[in-house]
Amino acid sequence: MTVFCMCLAGGIGAVFRFFLGRAVTAKSGGFPIPIGMAAVNLLGAFGLGLFTGIGLNNPSAGIIIATGFFGAFTTFSTFSAEAVQLLLNNRVKASLLYIAVSAAGSLLAFWAGWMIMSV
């Protein structure tokens, strides 16, 4: 049952990622980095930090929510492909900005969420 719920949560996370990333990108108006996926990954890291900070002692909930929903909602592979694509298009500064915002920003977002819930 846990695996089924994880798959269901993963499907929901992937759909949310698609629509949120698309909406943010549409509103960004020529932002120099792929802001849709950056926003999704930052929000996902923050949400996972909130969830982790609760300290829930339920392995099934962790698998369903952390691995299923947040694993599908956030995407390291798309981030990697977009960062490399920026480099291949000789947009080195944009690529480095995207990498910094995504990596450092996700760590900070997770930490902030975790700190909020673990107080």
Q: What is the mean pLDDT of residues 30-52?
A: 95
Counted domains in the chain = 1
Task: Note the residue count of the chain.
Answer: 119
Is 30 flagged in the annotation as binding?
A: no
CB 22 within 8 A of CB 60: no
pLDDT tens profile 5-24: 999 999 999 999 999 999 99
CB 13 within 8 A of CB 65: no
pTM of the model: 0.93
Measured torsion, CA atoms of residues 45, 47, 52, 56, in degrees rounded to the nearest 10: -160
Is 74 flagged in the annotation as binding?
A: yes
Range of 17's domain? 2-117
Q: What is the mean pLDDT of residues 51-75?
A: 94
pLDDT tens profile 43-59: 999 999 999 999 888 99
End-to-end CA distance of the chain: 32
